Every structure is written in C-alpha cells, then in structure tokens.
Chain A
Amino acid sequence: MKISLNWIKQYVDIPKDFTPQELALRLTMSVVEVDAVEDQKSRYDNMVVGEVLNVVDHPQADKLKVCKVKAGSAEYQVICGGSNVRKGLKGVLALPGALVKWHGQGNLVKLSQAKIRGVESEGMLCAAAEIDLADEFNEPTFTQAAAGREDGIVELTAGKSGQPVAEVLGLNDVILDIDNKSLTNRPDLWGHYGLAREVAALLGKKLKPLELNEKIVEDSQVDLKIDIQDAENCSRYLGAVMGNIRIAPSPRWLQNFLKAVGVRPINNVVDVTNFVMLELGRPSHAFDRLSIHQDTITVRRAAEGEKFKTLDGVERKLDGTMCLVCDADRPTDLAGIMGGENSEIKAGTTEIILELANFNPVNIRKTAAKLGLRTDAATRFEKGLSPDLAELGLKRLVTLIQQLIPEARLLSKIVDVNHEADVQRQIEFDLDFIRRRLGVPIDKKEVSRILEGLHFTVSVKKEHFSVTPPLFRTVKDVSIPEDLVEEVARIYGFDNIPPAMPLVSMAPQDSNAERSAERQAKQILAYVCGFTEVSNYSFMGANLIVAAGLALDQHLEIKNYLTEDQRYLRSSLLPLLLKNAAGNLRFFKNFNLFELGRVFSLGPGEYKTDQGGKNYLSRQEKYLAALSIGPEVFFNLKGAVEALLAGLEVNYQFNFDAAQAPSHVQSSRYANITVNDQAVGYLAEVAVKTCQAYKINKAAAYFEINFSHLLKYLGEHKKYQPLPKFPGIICDIAVVVDQAVRWLDIEKEVKAQSPLINQVELFDVYRVDQAGAAKKSLAFHVHFSDANRTLTSAETGTLRDKIVSRLVKKFKAAAR
C-alpha cells in the first residue's frame, strides 16, 4: 500500500527536521513494515524548464534540429527530433544524469552528453512518455501539442526557464511503500488517517480532527428502501440519496493525492469515494440514482450461475455463495468488491445513492479469490472493518461532496439497516500483568500515556486498569489484555526492553533417545563408512514409483499437487535415491548415498489427529536407507550395515531367504535384516531391470532399515569380559571349496569342533580355477584358548587336523 506523506501531514504535524526515512524507521519498528521511501522529486532530478531560443537544421540528419535552449542563466546546445520543436517553446530539458526512457520504452537510462550524428548534444528535450508523463492526460501544467503523435515533445504552459520540473509539476510528496502483509491484522491502518494516528502517537503529537459536517440535513423527498435478505454476508447497510450533483473533474489537490498513491482520478463523486477509502480505510460506493429501479436496495445471495457485468465491463459468472446488492429488478453491485456497469456514475449523473455497508470479510475474500478480482475495496473489507466506521464514512462522504459541489444535498433520510451485535469491549488487567509480560518495571503513567495516545479510554484505580478500545479498532484486533501488552510494548519500543535470561528449575528434561540414535547412525555412515547424506523430496511422480516396481495404489496422493513429479507421497526412500544415483553418475564413478527420512503409507500410524479423538494420521515412519555404486558393491554396503548396527548396539542377524526378496532387487543377492526374529530391513543388489529403468548402467546395492522400528531394539549391551589369564594359540587354515559353499556354514562347522575355539576370522577369499571349475579359496585364523590353562601346540595341532578333515568330509573341501 502506498502512503503519501503530504496526505499524512493533513492530519498530524511532523517536525521539519524529522526526515521521511526516520519516520519510515519509526513506523517499521512500532507499527508496520515500510518497504521503501520514494521521493517523487527524485524521478525528475536534473530536469529543468528549457526555453528554446533558436532552431536550425542538423547538418547530417533530415529529421533532427540543432536547438539553443535557455535554462535560467545557462544555455545548452540540444539535438531534438520532436516535430513540434520551435523557437519560444518551453519544454522539459533533461540534463546529463537525468533518467529517461528512450522512446517511452524499456528501462530507465541515465542521460549523458553525447554526439548525435557528429553534433554535440548537451541535453534532451523530452516527450511525455520518455519521462513517465504520458498518462497525465489532464495535467494542467502542460499541453501536448503533438498529441497522438509519438514524436512530439512536452510543451509546458507554466514554469520559468531553469525551474526544476518537479516543482512545476507540483511533485513534492514522499511516498511510503508499506508491506501489506504487515497490515493484515490492522484494518484501521488501511487508510491515511489511521496511520496518521499512529504517527501522532509515536511523535507525541496531536491528531487533527477530520473536517465533518455534523448536521447533515435529511429530506424525505425520496423514499430509499433497503432490505438485507442475506444478513450473514451483510450485517449493516447505511444508505442515502443525494441530489444536485454536478459531475466534473476533481480539484487539483484531490487529484494529486489520488495520483500520489497510484489511483487514477475519474470524476468528483468517484474520486471522493476513493479518497474516503484511502483516508479511513472504509470503502463505499455511489450509484447513479436514476439507474436504480424504484429506489430499492436489496442485498441477497447470487443464484448459481447468475451473470453480472461489473463496471470494468467484464461479465462475471457467479455462484450461490456470492453476495449481490440489487435494485428492485436486477443486481447492481458485486457486494464489497466492484460496482455494476448498469448503475455507475456517468457524466450526466445528477442524483446518487451512497452505500456504506458492512460485508462478511470471509465471503468477500473467497468471492474475490474465486473471481480473481482483488480490488482495493475487497482488500479492505476482507480484513474485517469496524462496524461503526460506516457512519463516520457517510458523514465524511457527504461533507466532501458538499465541499466540491456546494449545492448538493440529501434527498432522502439516512437509512440504516443494522444487524450488528453490540460487543462489550472493556478489558481489565493489573499493572503487574503488563510488567511481567514485558519483563520491564514500566511506570503506570507510561502505560496510560501510551494507551491514551492510541485513543484507548483508560481508567486506573490503584494498580488496576480498565481499558476500552476505540471504535476503529476491531474486536478481532483488540479484545484481551495480551492485545494491550502488544500496544504498550510496541510504542514503548521492543528494543527498549533489556534482555534477561529466564530463571528456571534445573530439573533435567527427558532426553530424546530417538534423536541421539539418529545422530549416531548418521555419523557412523558419514564419518566411519564414508557415505554422503542426501535429503530428498517427500513426494514423487508415478513414473518413478512404477520404475522401482512399487505399487502406485499403495501411495497417498496429494490433492492439489503442483506438478506430476510431486504427486504422490513417497512410501520408500528407494526411488529418489536411484534418481540421485543416476544424476550423480554423470560426474562420479563410485559413491555411497544415504538418507534418513519419513515415508508415508495408507494405514493409520502412531499420531492422533487430536488429543481427544479416536482418529490417527496416516502412517509416517522414519526409514534409513543407503545406495552404493562401485566395486564389490554388496559387501561395501553389508560392511556399512554391520558398522551401523554394531555402533547402535543392536543384536541383529542377516537371513538369506531369497523368497522374501522384493521384485526390485536380485533375489540371489538379498539378505533381510532381523532383530529378535523381527524383520527391520533388508540389504540387496538392485535388480538389473530396475537399474535400467532409472538409466543406471552399473551395479547398485541398497539397504533400508525401518528406523522407527529399530529404535525398539537399541540397547546398551556392552559388558566387560575378563582378560584371558593364559595365552591362546592361533592356527591358520586354508581350504578350497565350491563357489556355492557358504562361509557361514563353514564357520559354524569349525566352531562346532571344539569348545576351545573362541573366534574364527576369515582373512582372505579369492577365486581359483580347478579342473575347469570356478572354486574359491578361503583362508582363516582359528583362535584357541582355555580360561584355566595354557594350551599345548600338540593339542591345537590335533584340533586343526580335525577341523580340516571335517571340512573335507562335509564340504568336499581341499586343504591347501
């Protein structure tokens, strides 16, 4: 929202030495966020009134002239292509440093002295479009002699040669651009008067009263009938008929205020309604009385599909929730948003009906959104206006119209249909309450002074405050003592509150075991195993789900998804990890990725939708998953799982049951991970078809662990074992077996041979070709020890032979 500083100054005296920037900062710190401070003058810096002294033809160009231009005591040589340039013309002379738009198009360019076709030009005589004046069609200080022709330069009718152009144009305002988002809770600030009130409070100045015609003379010449049928959407309708209206352009002062804040002047009546809206934040509407059938106003719900042409000429299709203001026969106004074309003020309008109604903010917001019609009026209505502003608005409208058209007068009574409920607004609190919330021993008088400065009615008995908010502050905005804490704090200045640490009981809070486990898991994977953590979206497209061999119908779907590839909530971390892998293969040969995040599934989960209710939110467990690409990829990942689960002190097991393998992995390279016989995850090489579907042309391995589930099995199992009192003996054994003989079985068999064996440790595996068949050689250490005595080498030698012969017999092993 744009705020004119000149307009604010109508209501409050701002000290001369108080710069607009200082004011903007004060407003930002205590009221609303000021995004920018724009000085109107700065647009016309380095532009002065230039009087053309003589004109000669340019020696090199047919359409150009070389002019001598006088600006005050200085003279400049200027090349000009304007078809209307002539001796004696007073134009806008832009000097080096001025910002101009070449031919009225593109970005602003800083002018500099230049040679044009070989002749020096020290400035430029500007066309209106080149200096953003093209829309100033009724700007009284200049004429466009070459109107309709784009090559005509501005001809000024006022101003002395050398005078700054901004001065001639009357541009001496400063515009504050306010962030609308910072105003959503303050409908009273959607107008200059409201902001002036805050400025007055901040500067300790008096807010000047509005000029109001207190005694509006009513008449009964016209019987205005108002009927609110849709009371839900219209809680109050204040109307009056005015006659003796003469439609004309508004006076200069009014036009300037409107233009300063970006509103186009139209005619005196429309301009006054806009002015009052921008002054009080209170929208209103004026109908042409003769277009309103039978002086009847009816507020009703639109019919489903009903059509209505708003005054921008667009025919709009309405639905049954929208609200219309109608006359005896037809709709004439889209309530609170935009008037109808059929009843707008015309050049010949002589009688008008004024409307000041209170419309339902939610309905206005929804209607405006549905129709894509966010007007200034709608923006204000949807914030929820104070109901009492209607009367003030009407008084102000009538006052201003009579100021502009002295003979205008009311032809009807002021009709007020009011369904607003009276609200008790008194707020009670003790001084101590304010002090405790602020954390500052603020003085009683200071609290009163601040609240009274903001027009609250304050009564203090000892330390007790009874405060009544002013009518322009709505119930939504101010109704509880905490709201007054805010009022006091912001004017007192949040920055004047000295920071203080809370004093609390040092009783420890519960620790979060899940969070610690997560941190440990991530650190093991990243800093022990060398994996890189990725973070993927929680949603994905059907193509990725199908490519991973997952069932689409097991996925939650986003109702208002943005794009196809963000349509379904992920049920597994796999698809996006595969996608990450495919992307990274362009730059890396081998890599390890992991992610810890929530996945979503259809059934009910652990979280309730509300405390008392019986419903649960959809399941959203945390999973930990990793994907590896590189040599010996299965074992690379298996090692990571081992390091991870050992680090988390989980007693786990791998089970090699190919029948359980999901379709997106190779069943012969699959192990599921169990804890206490409960599956917590799996580890596998990704199926070739799945890799291909993701355009991954290398072997990839993947593991996933249901982390929410795993948390149940975290333990602290570490226990000290006494150090052996007697030395042990280590024997090395190497055997060659068929590829299909599993190490797990050999290890088990070895261990079974003697209770003296406490560890079997594989240290070498390699492939050998024997008699044309691929076999594998396994070499391992066997650790023998006894807690009560020293073993002899003869003893372990016998055991060693026993193990080897057992392996030969059971696995057809060949000893090496």
Chain B
Amino acid sequence: MLNELKKLKDQAIKEIQKSKALDQLRGLEVKYLGRKGELTKLLRRVKDLTIEEKPKFGQLANEVKQELSRLFLDFKDRLEPSTPGSSGAGEYLDLTLPGRRYLQGHLHPHTLIQYQLEEIFSNMGFLVLEGPELESEYYNFESLNVPPAHPARDIQDTFFIKDKANQVLRTQTSNQQVRVMEKYGAPLRAVFPGRVFRNEATDSSHETTFYQWEGLMIDKDISIAHLISTMKTMLKGIFKQEVAVRLRPGYFPFVEPGFEVDVSCVICQGKGCTVCKKSGWVEMIGSGLVHPSVLRAGGLNPEKYSGFAFGMGLTRLAMMKYGIDDIRLFLSGDLRFLNQF
C-alpha cells in the first residue's frame, strides 16, 4: 500500500503540472483530494494494515496530502490573472531578483554626528548657534581670558590673514562664547558646532581643519554637578549606553575651575586597548565653570550668574563612533569613504 500511495502522489503531481486552466485544476483537486477522491479511497483501506504498518502509512499519507494541497494552491495562483483587469495568466516572477535601485545620497559623517548631538541638546532646550570661521583675535582669544602674551596663543597654532591685522581662522568654537552672551544675555544655554583650524602638520590623527562641538550654559547657581550631569546625558545619547566618565583637573584659561572629562573607552569597554593607550580612558572633553572675566566680557555679572562650558572634538568623536583610523579622510572628498555613511 505504501507503494500505491507513492504512485498516487507521482501521478497527481504530473497531472497538476500539465494543467492549463483553472477548471481543469479544480477537477484534479476533486479527483485526488475530494471526499470521494483517490487519497480518501486509499485511506479507507488502512484497517487492513498491521499495527506496525499503520503509523508509517498514516504519516506518509499526511505528507502526500499536504504536498498536493500546497501544489494545488501554487498552481491556482499561477493560473489566475495576476493583474486586475486582465484575464490571462500572469508571468512567472523571479522574486529573488534585487529590488529597484534608488539613487542613494549620503550625508557627511560630521553632519550625521552633529544631528545626533543637536537632537540631544535641543531636547534639553539648548540653542544651536554657529558663528564666524574667520574671527577677530578679540573673540578668539582676549575675550576668553587669553591676553596677547599668554602662552596659549603659542600652543594653539593659529593661522593669520595677510593684510588683515586682527583676523584669524578660529582655533576653537569657544570664539562663540562671548558673542553669544552679548547677543542673548542670561540665562542662556546654547551649543556651537563648527569648523576650526590649527596650523600644524597633518598625519593620521592631526588635521589643519577639524570640527568641534562646544556648549555653554549660564544661569544662577550653575555648578560642577550640573556640568557632570549634562556630560553624562550627552555621552549616553551618543553611545546609546551608560558611559563611565571621570573628571580630573585640566587647565583652560576661560574656565575656573577647569577639568578634563575622560570617557571610559567604548572600544574595549575600559579594559585597555590601543585607542585608549591601555588606560581604559579616553580624554574627550575639556570643560569647566565659566571664568568670571569671560562672563564680564560677555556683559554678565559674575556675582549674579555662573555657568559651565565644555568643548570636544567632533571629528575625534566621529572617528571613535565609526571606527575611522585616519582623520584625513574627512576632508578627502573621496566617495569610497563618504558613501559608507
């Protein structure tokens, strides 16, 4: 009987595949799977089998029934018109062909990471402000408590403009601090993304042109605790996980106190790797409470207001986030790089 069942299956498949019209297919379905069909007939004879044979036969009969049902459904679909309004059968569609290719553009990684940060800070009510890239020495240095003889002016290798005394390519987005205080007063919370320039030789981790992200918040009684909390919120937003931070003293003339914020290395989860120089920490953010003389330069009364400021390398952050090992790629204009974002 097992053989009969197999024969029945083969015969049915052959006939289904040959069918040309829906009516014909329906007839076959009745012939094989109908109440008085071939399969049912065969099944009725199951009582003649031995106890050992019964389960084996039952299983196979079930399989045959399922396979034939599937085949009927499949052929019914093929024989039915596939387009509304047409009567003929549809063509075979190779569903494994790739989908239609849309022209796909790409935003620069700097832009993408800025959008992320902007969202985090907009949610906290920070303004996003940009300022001039060609800046006066006043806003780039003096207003930030960096007088002409200050060593910081040597350290930050500045590009000067020929025949334009007093104009420099800004070395830091901090140039915005006093500008923004002048324009908006206090209370104030704002972030400044932007391009900055350093006159230094380039290599895989140094560029003449890179992006920074700076933030400033001024209100009554702004404290170190507020700064830490804001930094943690920012980092969690960027890395989508709680990131351990540690603060240690750092010197920037426009803050007092000033500190470096180290971030637990996200590459090695703080275990120590080449990115963090085996320390488990990556130096990422310079920050502090706004120096009273900077507040005064911005026309604010340091007796009444205090604030925090922080700045970090946006390019560096993008390198960390995307695992980019050569900073020169950012401004290369190379589509092989840019099309990855």
Using a CB–CB cutoff of 8 Å, the interface residues on chain A facing chain B are: 28-33, 181-182, 184-186, 362, 365, 369, 382, 436-440, 480, 482-483, 485-486, 489-490, 494-495, 497-502, 504-506, 508-510, 512, 514-515, 519, 522-523, 525-527, 529-538, 556-562, 566, 569, 576-577, 579-580, 583-584, 587-588, 591-593, 597-598, 600, 605, 607-611, 615, 617-618, 620
Q: Chain A residues with Cβ under 8 A from B222's Cβ?
A: 502
Is A485 a contact of B333 with CB atoms below 8 Å? no
Q: 25 A–B contact pairs at CB < 8 A?
A: A182-B251, A437-B223, A437-B289, A485-B256, A485-B289, A486-B258, A490-B257, A497-B224, A502-B219, A502-B230, A504-B219, A505-B187, A530-B103, A532-B338, A535-B330, A536-B331, A538-B169, A558-B161, A569-B134, A591-B335, A609-B138, A609-B139, A610-B136, A617-B136, A618-B161
**Residue B208 at the A interface, CB < 8 A?**
yes
Binary per-residue interface labels of chain B (219-234) against chain A in the complex, 1 for a CB within 8 Å, 0 otherwise = 1011111101110110
Return the chain A residue nearest B148 by Cβ.
A362
Is A598 a contact of B133 with CB atoms below 8 Å? yes
In the complex with contacts A489-B224, A538-B169, A562-B161 CB distance below 8 A: no
Q: Chain B residues with Cβ under 8 A from A535's Cβ?
A: 108, 110, 330-331, 333
Q: Which residues between 19 and 69 of chain B lie within 8 Å of chain A, taking CB atoms? A: none
Q: Chain B residues with Cβ under 8 A from A559's Cβ?
A: 159-162
In the complex with contacts A29-B246, A494-B259, A610-B139, A480-B292 CB distance below 8 A: yes
Q: Chain A residues with Cβ under 8 A from B154's Cβ?
A: 365, 369
Is B187 a contact of A439 with CB atoms below 8 Å? no
Partner of A482, one of B102, B164, B291: B291
Using a CB–CB cutoff of 8 Å, the interface residues on chain B facing chain A are: 102-108, 110-111, 115, 118, 125-136, 138-139, 143, 149, 151, 154-155, 159-164, 166-167, 169, 182, 187, 189-190, 195, 197, 199, 201, 208-209, 217, 219, 221-226, 228-230, 232-233, 246-251, 256-260, 289, 291-292, 299, 306, 330-336, 338-339
Return the chain B residue nearest A436 by Cβ.
B221
- Among B131, B167, B221, B248, the most chain A Cβ lie within 10 Å of the Cβ of B248
B5: min CB distance to chain A, Å: 58
Is B106 a contact of A532 with CB atoms below 8 Å? yes
Is B306 a contact of A437 with CB atoms below 8 Å? yes
B244: min CB distance to chain A, Å: 10
What are the 4 A-B residue pairs with the smallest beta carbon separation, nearest first? A439-B225, A530-B103, A439-B223, A486-B257
Q: Chain B residues with Cβ under 8 A from A437's Cβ?
A: 223-224, 289, 306
Is B134 a contact of A509 with CB atoms below 8 Å? no
Q: Whole-angstrom distance between the alpha carbons of A121 and B263 in the complex?
A: 49
Q: Whole-angstrom distance between the alpha carbons of A512 and B128 in the complex?
A: 7
- Among A506, A579, A584, A597, the most chain B Cβ lie within 10 Å of the Cβ of A584
Q: Chain B residues with Cβ under 8 A from A501's Cβ?
A: 226, 229-230, 233
Q: Whole-angstrom distance between the alpha carbons of A369 and B151 in the complex?
A: 11
Return the chain B residue nearest A618 by Cβ.
B134
Return the chain A residue nearest B248 by Cβ.
A29
Q: Whole-angstrom distance between the alpha carbons of A382 and B149 in the complex?
A: 11
Is B232 a contact of A538 with CB atoms below 8 Å? no
Is A500 a contact of B225 with CB atoms below 8 Å? yes
Q: Whole-angstrom distance between the alpha carbons of A172 and B302 in the complex?
A: 51
Interface SS, B side: mixed
Return the chain A residue nearest B220 by Cβ.
A436
Is A504 a contact of B125 with CB atoms below 8 Å? yes
B212: min CB distance to chain A, Å: 14
In the complex with contacts A482-B292, A529-B105, A583-B226 CB distance below 8 A: no
Return the chain A residue nearest B133 by Cβ.
A598
Partner of B223, one of A436, A512, A615: A436
Q: Whole-angstrom distance between the alpha carbons of A561 and B160 in the complex?
A: 8
B188: min CB distance to chain A, Å: 8
Q: Chain B residues with Cβ under 8 A from A483's Cβ?
A: 256-257
Q: Whole-angstrom distance between the alpha carbons of A620 and B131 in the complex?
A: 10
Is B105 a contact of A531 with CB atoms below 8 Å? yes
Q: Chain A residues with Cβ under 8 A from B133's Cβ?
A: 538, 598, 620
- Among B134, B219, B250, the most chain A Cβ lie within 10 Å of the Cβ of B134
Q: Chain B residues with Cβ under 8 A from A557's Cβ?
A: 161-163
Is B257 a contact of A536 with CB atoms below 8 Å? no
Is B246 a contact of A495 with CB atoms below 8 Å? yes
Q: Chain B residues with Cβ under 8 A from A592's Cβ?
A: 103, 105
Q: Whole-angstrom distance between the alpha carbons of A122 and B163 in the complex?
A: 71
Q: Chain A residues with Cβ under 8 A from B131's Cβ?
A: 607
Q: Chain B residues with Cβ under 8 A from A566's Cβ?
A: 208
Return the chain B residue nearest A29 by Cβ.
B248
Given contacts A182-B249, A537-B331, 17 further A-B pairs with CB under 8 A are A485-B289, A489-B224, A494-B228, A498-B225, A501-B233, A522-B107, A525-B105, A530-B105, A532-B105, A533-B107, A534-B338, A558-B161, A559-B162, A566-B208, A617-B132, A617-B167, A618-B167
Is B257 a contact of A485 with CB atoms below 8 Å? yes
Q: Chain A residues with Cβ under 8 A from B103's Cβ?
A: 529-530, 592
Partner of A538, one of B135, B197, B219: B197
Return the chain B residue nearest A597 by Cβ.
B195
Q: Whole-angstrom distance between the alpha carbons of A519 and B117 in the complex?
A: 13
Q: Whole-angstrom distance between the alpha carbons of A189 and B330 in the complex?
A: 39
A104: min CB distance to chain B, Å: 29
B130: min CB distance to chain A, Å: 7
Return the chain A residue nearest B124 by Cβ.
A501
Is A562 a contact of B106 with CB atoms below 8 Å? no
In the complex with contacts A506-B125, A556-B161, A557-B161, A576-B225 CB distance below 8 A: no
Q: Whole-angstrom distance between the alpha carbons of A512 and B121 in the complex?
A: 13
Q: Chain A residues with Cβ under 8 A from B130's Cβ?
A: 514-515
- Among A514, A523, A559, A569, the most chain B Cβ lie within 10 Å of the Cβ of A559
Is B102 a contact of A584 with CB atoms below 8 Å? no
Is B224 a contact of A438 with CB atoms below 8 Å? yes
A359: min CB distance to chain B, Å: 14
Partner of B249, one of A32, A569, A620: A32
Q: Chain B residues with Cβ under 8 A from A588's Cβ?
A: 335
Is B160 a contact of A558 with CB atoms below 8 Å? yes
Is B138 a contact of A583 with CB atoms below 8 Å? no
Q: Chain B residues with Cβ under 8 A from A610's Cβ?
A: 136, 138-139, 143
